[in-house]
Structure formats: C-alpha cells, structure tokens
Amino acid sequence: MRFAPSPTGFLHIGGLRTALYNYLFAKSHTGGKFILRIEDTDQSRYVEGAEQDIIDSLEWCGMEIDEGPNEGGDVGPYRQSERQDLYHKYAKQLIDEGKAYYAFDTTDEIDQMRERLKKSGNPSPKYDAVTRQSMINSLTLPQDEVEKRLKNGDEYVIRLKVPRRETIRFEDLIRGHVSFESKGLDDQVLLKSDGMPTYHLANVVDDHLMNISHVIRGEEWLSSTPKHILLYQAFGWEAPKMAHLPLIMSPSGGKLSKRKAEEEGIPVNTKEYIKQHYEPEALVNFLAYLGWSPGDDSEIHSLNELCHLFSLDRVSKGGAVFNHKKLLWYNEHYLREETDKAIAERLQPIAKEKGIELPEEEFLIQAIALLKDRVSKVDELLDMGRFFFDDPDEYDEKALKKWKDDSADLVTQYRENISRLPDNEFEAATLKSHLEDVINANNVGFGKLMMPLRIAVTGQGFGPDLFASMELLGKETVLKRIDTALDKLD
Ligand code: GLU
C-alpha cells in the first residue's frame, strides 16, 4: 500500500483518513507494507515544510511508515522528483512501441484548434484520436523533421494515444463495476514540456515499480482511474486493485470544503488538531469510522485493534458526515483513560504556553481527578480548573445573575458555620451538610445558597463538585475567597 500525497499544503483530515485506511489495510494483511511516496512533480505548487508536516502528522497518529523518503526501502527513491529518469525511460518506451507520440504544438496552436472546433459545433473539443491527425506531432510530421526538432531542443510534450472509442471498465472494491468512455478523454500528456511527468504517468509507473497491490484514495481521483487503466494497458502491466473512498461531508450538507469547515469550527489540517491538543487516539478512532464501521455496535478501538478489524467491503459508498460532537465524544473517552498523573505532566507545557502557573503535582493531580469528567479536551482543564490555581479575579457575568438580594446573608451564615470547623474536618461531606443546615434554617431551596457559594469560591457558574473542590482548596483559601466575594458583591 502507498500513501501518495503531494506536498502542496499541510495534511488535511481527508488526506489523513486516506493514509489511515491505507495503513489499516496494509496491516490487516500479513506482510502488508505501508509506503509513503511524495508526489512532488508539480514544482509550481510545492509548499516548503509540507513533506515534514505529513510525516509529523502520521507519526503523531501512530502510523509507522515502513518505507519512505526517510526510511528508505527496496523500491526507492520515494520522492517522485528523484525518479525523473524512470519516467523518461517509460515514456520513451511507449513512443518506441507506437503507443505514445511527441507533440510540438504551442498552446496557441492548441487554443486555435479548440476555437475552430467550437465554432463548428463541438462544445468540448479534445486533442484526441481525430484532431491529432491535423496537429503538429510525430504522427503527422516526417520522421527526419521530428528528429530535427528533438535535436534542436524544440519544446514538446509526450502524449498517450487514447483509443477513439473504447469503454474502459474496472472493478472498484468499494463502488463495484465502473465504466468510462474513452471518447471524452484527451490524448493524455505523459511528459510535460519542462520534462516533468504528469501525475498520471508518474503515479502509474511508480505504483507498478513499487509493487502496489491496492490503491486506496479519495473519490476525487475516480475520474483519473480510466486514464491510469489505459496506461497500464499500454505498458502491458496488471493494474493494482482500486478503491475510492467516499467524500467527507459537512454537517450542513455538501462536501466538507475548507471554507465550510472553517464556518462550522472544524479544524482542517492535522496540524491544528495537534496544536489544539486533541488526543491522537481519538482522531484515529473517529476517522476510521468516517466511512467505515466494523459491522457491530462497538465504537472504541485502538489503532492496533482497527488493523485487525478493518476491511474494504465495509467501507460505505455514500458520503460520510463529519460530526464534530462525535469526535469530542471520542476525545473525552481517551482523555479519561489516561491517568491523572500522566495528564498532569501533559498540562505542564500547555500551562506554560498559556502563562498559567500550576500548583505542585500532588494538588494538581487531585484537581484533575475532579475536573476530568467535565471536559472534552485536555487544555480545557486549565480553563475550567483555573480557580484551583488562582483566586478568581472576576466573576462570570452570567453566573452573577444568580447572586440575589438574600445571597450575601446566606453565604455569611454558611461562612460562620464552616469557619468553626477544625482544618482536619474541612471535608466535602461535612461542608455539604452545613449547607443543608443553612438552607433548612432559612427555609430556602438548595440553589439559593449553592450558586452564590460557587460564584464566591470559583468565580464561575458551573464546574466540578463544589464541596470536593472546597476540601481540596482548604479552609484558609475558601474563607478568604468568600470574604472577598462578600466584599465585592454585596
Ligand atoms: N498525489 C495525489 C494526491 O495528492 C495522489 C492520488 C493517488 O493516490 O493516486 O492525493
């Protein structure tokens, strides 16, 4: 199997899913290999750093590359820009066998041909089996003229002789039987005038030479497949088996384009998921289910388990909707599986980045235990748990609406009660029973005191168990915060 991205930008989630399915399929077969091939023949679209971003993204997800630019292997090099000789050799072979030809036409000449044909009623004129006969190429020019031009260094492209009328058929492992008519195809350019191969030539030559057995790629490449099949036929090579993955759809309908994703707050590039502190296991699990399922109602699987479960016949044909809530659900699951101690370690660099000074480890671990079930992502622990690390310096505005006329009085009574507790009895259960005493004595509902107390201690209207939080904060801190709140809010 190969993952064959073009380094024209950072790896987006669609690309990452393609990589994942290739990886899972390779690993679901004994001896299967996962190859990374960098398709960098389009120099004008090359983006500095993109290759490294692809490699980093795969590594972050735990997909180990068996062969690639850095790993090496028997069928390298693994960057197409380093395989130029091969493409020239195979293009030349097709010319020698009469299956391809040199075309010397300038862009202007081709445009003129198209204009002429459009005027005579052909809406989409092609450089094809019919029109090639009146163009400037090695099929129409005398042999010595062709040689003269080549010697001269005249610009040319190499084109494939696409048959005039042929139905090209293949079995797609996801879509089933697919057929295309060759009539709608141009004589494909194989080698461009700058000497670079086109995607089609390089892709076919490499898949063959790299012994790729199955090509799994996005649906957008389906229309390239007939061109590839023709090339395999021309070379007399057996084509790999093909599988085209369903599109990733936006929750609001239509393809999940970059713009749509941004509108819906869905990160597009893998890099953003890394930066936003998603759990890699969650993204992997989620992406695996974006177009595939194991056929039972199980949902949680590690990368390793997915390798055993994956099969192409359970990939759906229809578009797969990107449900961000589901991703967060996965994220919560994997976050909760981590130990509090491990999370505490992970929080260090994130806190540093946010300029938050964390308390000592023992305290932090206990705070994490209280907070963990209430957040979706690890970095949210710092926002929700802010009050564990700092006294609140302001009070949440929405929560303040719950600070009523009688709040100060109730909070004061409660403060009186708990201030008498010895330090070692400043415990969640006791703190709770004191709250019950106060509300009973005043004949008011639970929330009448609970809410103002939460605001005073945490500055927020929601958060982890208040009494357990107060126990962890300790008597001195809690009383101090209550006093500050009474002072500021009354
Ligand atoms: N280089 C193509 C891409 O960027 C590869 C398509 C294929 O897998 O054949 O997706």
Q: What is the distance in A from the centroid of ligand 1 to the CA of 324?
A: 26
**In this structure, are 40 and 137 located in the same domain?**
no
Q: What is the CA radius of gyration of the chain?
A: 32
Ligand 1 mean position, distance from CA 332 (Å): 33
Element spanning 128, H or E: none
**Beta-bridge mates of residue 189:** 159
Q: Nearest residue CA, atom 3 of ligand 1?
A: 5
Is there an atom of ligand 1 within 6 Å of 6 CB? yes
Residues of the chain under the 70 pLDDT cut: none
> At 418, which CATH number?
1.10.10.350
Q: 460 and 396 in contact (C-beta within 8 Å)?
A: yes
Question: Does the residue 415 lie in any domain?
Answer: yes
Give dist(CA 100, CA 98) in Å, integer.
6
Q: Please check whether residues 239 and 91 belong to one and the same domain.
A: yes
User: Which of 372, 389, 406 corresponds to the end of one domain?
Assistant: 389
Find out whether the beta carbon of 38 lies less than 6 Å from any atom of ligand 1: no
Q: Give residue 414's domain range.
A: 397-489
Catalytic residue ranges: 258
- The pLDDT value recorded for residue 463 is 94
In a domain, 76, yes or no: no
Q: Which residues pair with 244 in a beta bridge?
A: 217
Confirm or reject: Cβ of 18 under 6 Å from ligand 1: no
Query: Of ligand 1's atoms, which has the minimum distance to the CA of residue 8?
Result: 4
**Contact present, 66 and 35 (Cβ < 8 Å):** yes
- Count of domains observed in the chain: 4
CA of 37 to the centre of ligand 1 (A): 9
Pocket test for ligand 1, best of 39, 204, 208, 245 (most atoms within 8 A of CB): 39
Residues 126 and 201 both lie in one domain: yes
Q: Is 5 in the pocket of ligand 1 (CB under 6 A)?
A: yes
For the CA of 3, the nearest atom of ligand 1:
8
Output the domain CATH number for residue 345: 1.10.8.70
Considering the domain architecture, whether residues 227 and 265 belong to the same structural domain is answered as no
pTM: 0.93
**Coil, strand or helix: which one is 242?**
strand
Are 216 and 145 in a shared domain?
A: yes
Are 113 and 169 found together in one domain? Answer: yes
Q: In angstroms, what is the span from residue 36 Cα to ligand 1's centroid? A: 11
- CATH at 139: 3.90.800.10
Could you tell me if the CB of 40 is within 6 A of ligand 1? no
Q: Could you tell me the distance, in angstroms and rounded to a whole number, from the CA of residue 5 to the centre of ligand 1?
A: 5
Whether residue 103 is contained in a domain is answered as yes
Question: What is the C-alpha to C-alpha distance for residues 214 and 243, in angstroms, rounded to an integer?
Answer: 7
Whole-number Å distance, alpha carbon 392 to ligand 1 midpoint, is 52
Of residues 444, 433, 387, the one with CA closest to residue 410 = 444
Q: Is residue 71 part of a domain?
A: no
Q: What is the pLDDT of residue 184?
A: 86
Q: Which atom of ligand 1 is nearest to the CA of 5?
A: 4
- End-to-end CA distance of the chain: give it in Å, rounded: 69
Atom 10 of ligand 1: nearest residue by CA position: 5
* Final residue of a structural domain among 296, 311, 337: 337
172 pairs with which residues across the strands?
Answer: 176, 242
Q: What is the DSSP letter of 426?
A: -
> Are 133 and 236 contained in the same domain?
yes
Question: Residues 342, 331: one domain?
Answer: no
Same domain, 342 and 483: no
- From the CB of 221, is ligand 1 less than 6 Å away? yes
In short, whether 244's Cβ falls inside 6 Å of ligand 1 is: no
At 490 the pLDDT is 73
Q: Tell me, yes or no, whether 1 lies in a domain.
A: no
Do residue 312 and residue 414 come from a single domain? Answer: no
Looking at the domain assignment, is residue 215 inside a domain?
Answer: yes
Q: Is residue 69 part of a domain?
A: no
Q: Which atom of ligand 1 is least distant from the CA of 199? A: 1
Q: Is 217 in the pocket of ligand 1 (CB under 6 A)?
A: yes
Residues 120 and 210 in one domain: yes
User: Is 463 within a domain?
Assistant: yes
89 and 233 housed in the same domain: yes
Cβ–ligand 1 distance for 225 under 6 Å, the answer no
| Interval between CA 40 and ligand 1 midpoint (Å) | 10
